[in-house]
Each structure stands twice: as C-alpha cells, then as structure tokens.
Copies of this chain bind each other. A is one copy, B any other.
Amino acid sequence: MTTSTGSIPAAAATPSRRELNKAATRQAITDAALSLLRSHGPGSFTVEDIADTAGISRRTFFNYFSSTDAALAAVTHGFLDNAIQQFRLRPADEPILQSAQAALMALADPMTVAPLAELFTLTQQSTLMSHSELQAWEHCTEQIIAVARERVTGAAEGVDELYVRALAGAVISCGKAALEVWFTRRGADLSPASLAELRQLLIDSMALLGSGFTAGTSPASRSTSSASVSS
C-alpha cells in the first residue's frame, strides 16, 4: 500500500494525500474545539457546534474523537507525547529521575507549553480534569513504566513491578504538581521569568522526589536552590 515513497511510516515524511487530509481534518477539529472553548467556555457547546465550525459532519467528528473532551485533550496528548519522546532519548544508564528532569526541561519553552497553558486556564474553572485528559496522563505513565522496565531489566531479570510502577506514578504526580502550582501562580503567563519559574518548579519537584521528601519542615532551604538532582 504505502510503497510509493518512503519505507516505514515512521517520523519525517508521510506525503500520502489521505494522511495529509486526515491530519488536516484532525487539526481543524481541535482548532474548532479550542476556538469554541475560548468563546463559549467549557461545557457550553456541543459536538455539532465543533463539527459545524470545522466544516465537517457530526458523524465524521466521531470518526476522529469520541467526545468533545477527547478533542480538547489532543493538546495534552501532544504535549505528553513530546515529553515521552524526549524521555526516550536519554541514555539508558542515566538515573530515571534525572532523565525525567532533563525531558521536562526540554519542554519548558514557550511554543511547547503555550497550548497546554491555555487549555489549562480555560478549563480551570470546571474543577476537575476531564476524562480524556486524565487518560492522557495515564497513558504517559504507562509509557514511563515501559521505559523504566526496559532499563531495570538490564540489571535484574525478574523486574520489580512495584518499583517501576511506583516510580512512574510518582514522577507523573510530581510533574503534575509542578504544573499545577505554576498555573495557579502565574496563570497563562509565558514570559521568560515565568518559564524560568516553571523550570525551577520542575527541578524542585524532581529533587523532592529524589530526596524522599526529607526537606519536610524547612521549605526555605529548598525553594530557592536547585537542589541535588539538577544537571
């Protein structure tokens, strides 16, 4: 089928007309969803509204996403896929926490964070995260588990499932915590100073994890320095 140009439908080129159309439609849908979110607020528009705005039928929308939430969560999904990609690029012998920190550093630039920040501020008022968004984080956790399992397998045959799952979950939780604190502090502020603070929060959260949260009752000694895990 795909024998025309490349070999494996991997990363760079996918020039098939069909693939391009699908990608464009997908993008049109998320754009429409975001646009409606901006103008109407969360929960105040229907799938039909999105479909109309994107110039497709309601039925076609469901060929791409299973709900409005899912369309919006594409933003989060994109961000986290990016994070995992960075994470996989780290050397296999590096401590996992350090890899996680490095991967997160690579994402704290305006272009990458901006969509997530906007989505977050726009949906903030509706208390809890949507189903699809939580799924996206869960999916990311699974990916980290997979990577961690590979790395630990190198050392011992019987992989310690608890170690791997607890670590992955903790990393995600701490990353989420850093993002939450940043969002509540700075809103959608993407200035260099704000992004520097985000980076510091991410570093601090990984440091907390790496030190077993021993800093306990003396937060002053930690919140200003980048602590031990930093590169």
Residues of A within 8 A of B (CB): 95-97, 128-129, 131, 134-135, 138, 152, 155-156, 158-163, 165-170, 172-174, 176-178, 180-181, 184, 201, 204-205, 208-220, 222-223
Report the Cα distance A113→B71, complex, angstroms: 37
B163/A215 in contact, CB under 8 A: yes
Q: What residue of chain B has the Cβ atom nearest to residue A167's Cβ?
A: B213
Report the Cα distance A219→B163, complex, angstroms: 8
So how many copies of this chain end up in the complex? 2
| Residues on the B chain within 8 Å of A220, using CB | 156
CB distance from A133 to the nearest CB of B (A): 10
| Residues on the B chain within 8 Å of A155, using CB | 217-218
| Residues on the B chain within 8 Å of A178, using CB | 162, 166
Report the Cα distance A160→B217, complex, angstroms: 10
| Residues on the B chain within 8 Å of A160, using CB | 219, 222-223
CB distance from A30 to the nearest CB of B (A): 21
Q: What residue of chain B has the Cβ atom nearest to residue A204's Cβ?
A: B162
A208/B165 in contact, CB under 8 A: no
Provide 10 A-B residue pairs closer than 8 Å at the C-beta atoms, listed in order of the A residue: A96-B216, A97-B212, A131-B134, A156-B220, A158-B219, A162-B177, A165-B177, A166-B208, A169-B177, A172-B173
| Residues on the B chain within 8 Å of A217, using CB | 152, 155-156
A181/B208 in contact, CB under 8 A: no
A170/B209 in contact, CB under 8 A: yes
CB distance from A92 to the nearest CB of B (A): 12
B215/A212 in contact, CB under 8 A: no
Of B128, B212, B223, which contacts A211 at CB under 8 A? B212
A169/B163 in contact, CB under 8 A: no
| Residues on the B chain within 8 Å of A174, using CB | 166, 169-170
Given known pairs A128-B135, A173-B170, the reply for A95 and B165 (CB within 8 Å) is no
Choose among A160, A162, A168 the residue with the greatest number of B CB atoms under 10 Å from its CB: A162
B173/A166 in contact, CB under 8 A: yes
